């Protein structure tokens, strides 16, 4: 997918962050083992794309963990020659140090969660500081925002997470839009011949949300945002 410039990057003066789109895939197009394909999606991301995230953001033998211990993440890590880690604080940090890598190569986190409300900047920043210490230099944190906004539409969970990550010393590197349901082959509201005669598909005056946002951050050696 072609990258586009995000408004957040322009406003902050940072380099543009590329945006990619994950579309639902028919099962017969999955070039992965059946035991991996059989696992449920992680936050709406299908097994092939979870495996793609692990492959892209880690190196061979890197420790990989999901805060919820999702079995798909562990299977993808093993399949790709990475090392799945079960986080059992406070016992986990010594295990990571013994790995010889100084921390996780990849940590996945579903948001919001207990102690890390993506609408609460203070709580989110505290969580980001903790997660940063679990990553090796150059390691990645991938967060899935399962709540797009609050009821009155004022709080931006995405902006809160990005701000908290930067404050904690993580650089924002990638954004993904995860489409949750297959897109229709024919959309009458987008066609000149039928747009005027087709009723709008709105829920309480808003378009139904059919995607989830996933943000990737990197622990840089100096802890500064790029």
- pLDDT value at position 212? 86
- pLDDT value at position 198? 73
Q: What is the 3-state secondary structure (H, E, C) of the chain?
A: CCCCCCHHHHHHCCCCCCEEEECCCCHHHCCCCHHHHCCCCECCECHHHHHHHHHHHCCCCCEEEECCCCHHHHHHHHHCCCEECCCCCCCHHHHHHHCCCCCEEEEEEEECECCECCCCHHHHHHHHHHHHHCEEEEEEEEEEECCCECCCCCCEHHHHHHHHHHHCCEEEEEEEEEECCCCCCCCHHHCCCCCCCCCCCEECCEECCCEEEEEEEEECCCCCCC
- pLDDT value at position 207? 63
Q: Does domain 17-26+33-182+215-219 have CATH number 3.40.50.300?
A: no
- pLDDT value at position 36? 72
Domain ranges of the chain: 17-26+33-182+215-219
- pLDDT value at position 1? 37
- pLDDT value at position 149? 54
- pLDDT value at position 222? 58
pTM of the full predicted structure?
Answer: 0.77
- pLDDT value at position 62? 94
Mean pLDDT per block of 10 residues along the chain (226 residues) reads 46 70 70 71 89 94 94 93 83 49 89 86 93 94 80 71 94 90 68 74 65 91 50
- pLDDT value at position 118? 79
- pLDDT value at position 18? 86
């Amino acid at each position: 997918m072609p990258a586009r410039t995000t408004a957040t990057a322009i406003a902050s003066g940072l380099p543009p962050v590329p945006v990619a789109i994950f579309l639902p895939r028919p099962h017969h197009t999955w070039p992965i083992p059946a035991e991996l394909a059989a696992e449920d999606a992680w936050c709406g991301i299908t097994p092939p794309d979870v495996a793609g995230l692990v492959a892209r953001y880690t190196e061979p033998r890197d420790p990989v963990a999901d805060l919820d211990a999702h079995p798909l993440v562990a299977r993808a890590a093993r399949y790709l020659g990475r090392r799945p880690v079960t986080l059992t604080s406070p016992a986990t940090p010594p295990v990571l140090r013994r790995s010889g890598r100084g921390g996780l190569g990849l940590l996945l986190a579903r948001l919001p969660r207990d102690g890390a409300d993506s609408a609460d900047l203070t709580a989110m920043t505290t969580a980001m500081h903790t997660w940063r210490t679990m990553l090796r230099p150059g390691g990645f944190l991938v967060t899935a925002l399962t709540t797009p906004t609050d009821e009155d539409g004022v709080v931006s969970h995405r902006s809160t997470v990005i701000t908290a990550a930067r404050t904690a010393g993580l650089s924002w590197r990638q954004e993904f839009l995860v489409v949750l349901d297959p897109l229709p082959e024919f959309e009458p509201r987008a066609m000149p011949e039928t747009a005027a005669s087709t009723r709008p598909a709105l829920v309480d005056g808003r378009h139904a949300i059919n995607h989830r946002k996933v943000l990737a951050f990197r622990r840089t050696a100096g802890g500064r945002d790029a």
